Every structure is written in C-alpha cells, then in structure tokens.
Amino acid sequence: MGTKSSLLIAIVIASISVYISLYWRKTELPKHYRDDNYFGVQNIKDGAKFPEDDKKIEKFTVNIDESVLIDLKARLNRTRVVDSIAGTNFAYGTNSETLKKVIDYWMNKYDWRAEEKRLNKYDHFTTQIEGIKIHFLHIKPSNPGSNKVLPLMLVHGWPGSFVEFYKIIPLLTTPKNGIVFELVIPSIPGFGFSEGGHKQGLNVGHTARIFVKLMKRLGHEKFYYHGGDWGAIIGDLAAKYFPENILGYHTTLLGIPTSPCIFIKTLIGYVFPNFIYENPAVESKMLTPLMDKLIFIIQETGYMHLHATKPDTVGAGLNDSPAGLASYILEKFSTWVNPSYIDKPEGGLFEKFTIDELLTNIMIYWSTESIVTSQRFYRETLPKLFGPENAILRLPVKKEVPVGVAMFEHEIYRFPKFVAKTAFENLIHYETFSKGGHFAAFEEPEITANDIKKFVARCIEAANKEDKEEK
C-alpha cells in the first residue's frame, strides 16, 4: 500500500471519528452566553442579583508611572541571555543575538514617553461592564462630509493589542467611495488596559456579549465587526448569539471549523481538487500537502497547549522578566507573519515592523502586567469549545449576518472558500491575497482597510436589494 493510500485511509478514519465524536452531540448553541454575568471582585451568592455596573464612560490617558519605567530598565540590565546554537536562526525560537539587539535598543534608545504621545493621539476611554473595566478607543471621522458614518468595531488577538490597528485608523476614518467609519477598538478583557475577570469562566462567549453591550452603551444597536485571532472567534460568537446587532462580520481567520462535511470534502479535494475548490490553483494549497500543514500546526501551537492548561505557570516567568516576555512575543511576530522567516537571522522581524512598533506592543503587556490574564483567556475558552460546548465551533453563522473573509497568504490557519461557505451561511465576500500574515491590519493596513470597505459596500448593496424586494 502506497504512502498516499495510507494517508487517505488515515483521513477517512479520522473523519469518521470526528463525525461520531462531534456530530451527534448537542446541535444547539449553549444559551447562557446571551445572559448577563458578573466577573468583578464582589462575591455573589448563588441566585443573588448581580451588582449594577457604573455605566459612566470615562476618558482614559495612557500614562505609565515613572517607577514602572525605572524598574523595567533595572530588570533589563540584569538580563541573562543564553546564546543560540550557531546557524539555528529562529528555528529554536527568538535568536539570542536578535534578543540582545532588542534589549539594548529598549534600554538605551526606545522612548516610551514619545510612544505614549502617539498612542494618545486618539481618544481612549474606559467603562464598567459586568463588573470589570473595559478599555477602548473611540474614533469618529473628523471630516465625514456628506458620507454616512458607519459604526465598526475592530478587535485584536494574542499576542497583539489595540496597537495593531493604529496604521489602519486613518484609512478607515477618511471618506472613500461614500464609506467612512466611526471606530470602536476595545482591549479584550485581561489584555492591556482592560481588567481581567476575577472569577472563572470569562471567555470568548462572554466577551462577545460584553462587546455588544459596549456598542449599545455608545449608542450603536447595530454595527459592523472586524477581527483576527481571538478577535475573529469573538466576532464569530457575536454573530451567532447576537445576529440582531451585527450588520456584517469581516474576518481574517475562520478559527477551527469542525463540521463533519468539511473533513469529508477535504478528503475528496485531496484526490479531486477541481471538484471541490472554486480556485484550485490557490485554494488547494491551503490544505495540502496535508501532512506538512499538520506538522506546521503542531509546531506552532505549543504555546496554545500551555495557555489552555496551565497559563499561570509560564506566565509567572513572563510577568517577571521583560526580556523573557519580549522573546516570547517577538517569536510570534516572526513565524506568524511568514513561516519562511524562521530561517532568517533576525526572524524577519523588521521587514514588516519597526523595532519601536514591536516594543510598544510588548510594553502594553509589560506595563499592565497582563500577560498572565491574557493567557488565561485560552484556559477559559478552549476546554469548553473542544469539549461540552463544541456546537459553538460546529454550527454555522446563520444567514441573518453577512460575512466577509480575507485570506492572507501566510495566515496560520488558511481555509478555502468551501470551508467558509460551511462556516457562514451568508458568505457574501471571500478574497485571497498573495502576501500578508496573521497580523493583517498591522502588516498590510491598506489591503485590510480596502477589503473591509469592499465588504461593507457589499453588505449595504445586499441590504438595499432586500429592502426593495420587500417593498
């Protein structure tokens, strides 16, 4: 029996196993994510009423205490770096020579106060939702003209932050072809300036509800949504649980769809690509060579297993060592931007980003001591999504919410259009791009902004057509 035949048999067995283990479980979404909850510091007895939130929206300024910067420099000065094995580049993780370069720049040239001014260029706010402080940027177009201003939420992931969107903000708040946006850019609970949960359970489902509440508090009953990484999963759940509030959902990541028909079609496409893929030359490469793709995923998800099981263990070291934190985060801005960067001496870090941009994102985690709480997000989410609440991944976003997908060449999880059609009943937009990676808005702001605008234009066109048909 040849290698290909053996592989096909393995895929069939895996598909059947997945089908049995997943498909015959619950076929409805867990309902509790639509219900209010409380993650604040107060102890609430079972059945007791949740405390009322302070619904004030307060102006917030990024202003780190000088003592934090003094302590940071002292810690950096005491860093112990283990030399990398010669010629390994980023194959073992962040290369020691690159790390030394970053540490030296961080200590001697990086100007946090200048970065604070840049961050405060846009208006920041905080408000309390379900007992915790939620940080967000709220940016209205300064010159909308006669254009209709559309509300759009942008949500980051890990190990990113709201900083990822700074390049795209002016592109989305400047009118073009009749479209201009009012932006709301929150920090996920436990990330940066957003408070983490003080009780177990604060995951993607609760965050989706919290973000819908945030938009309502700002006066937007309905809004558009864009997200990547965790932002994509949160958006997916917002579209599933609150379709009445989502005008359109645009994403650069499909998460991990687990519908059995996807596995079956993947098997067929492996043998007969022209039968499954709309654009075989581009889309077939997203899932093949299958073994290479699986090996890459295994290599690049070690962090996820740590975060989803014992986040506090690894987090203790990262929260105590700025050099360790930098090494841990920088490595993701190498391989996740382009897998080939693993073979470059500096990991290709400075091909898409400046050293200041990378350090400012790291500083958001360091100055707020939020690396541990950001990692707990995995612990609160993944055991449920791949366990008792697997229906969340398996069931599609219903037709009430139009969806747009932008697939960048070097995204970690790339899926062809047939997968997107299975995951989203009303897929009105699917585009592939020959460059760009996991941090789309950070790496390719113009492409990302243009694709969002193109998608929203299609949403408006579809809505207008529906209105005419109803009349």
Catalytic residue annotation = 229, 378, 438
Nearest of 191, 175, 269, 225 to residue 403 by alpha carbon: 225
Residue 382 contacts by C-beta under 8 Å, 6 or more apart in sequence?
304, 308
Rounded to the nearest 10 degrees, the angle between the axes of helix 66-77 and helix 96-108 is 140
Pairing assessment for the beta strands 124-129 and 58-60 based on DSSP bridges: antiparallel
222, 228, 231, 236 alpha-carbon torsion, rounded to 10°:
60
3-state secondary structure of 182: strand
3-state secondary structure of 77: helix
Q: How many Å apart are CA 291 and CA 83, to the nearest integer?
A: 32
Nearest of 115, 159, 74 to residue 330 by alpha carbon: 159
* Contact between 195 and 37 (Cβ < 8 Å): no
Nearest of 76, 70, 135 to residue 104 by alpha carbon: 76
The letter for the amino acid at 26 is K
Q: How many Å apart are CA 70 and CA 218, to the nearest integer?
A: 37
The first and second tokens of residue 68, run together, are 């934090």
The letter for the amino acid at 325 is L
| Cα angle 326-327-331, degrees, rounded to a multiple of 5 | 110
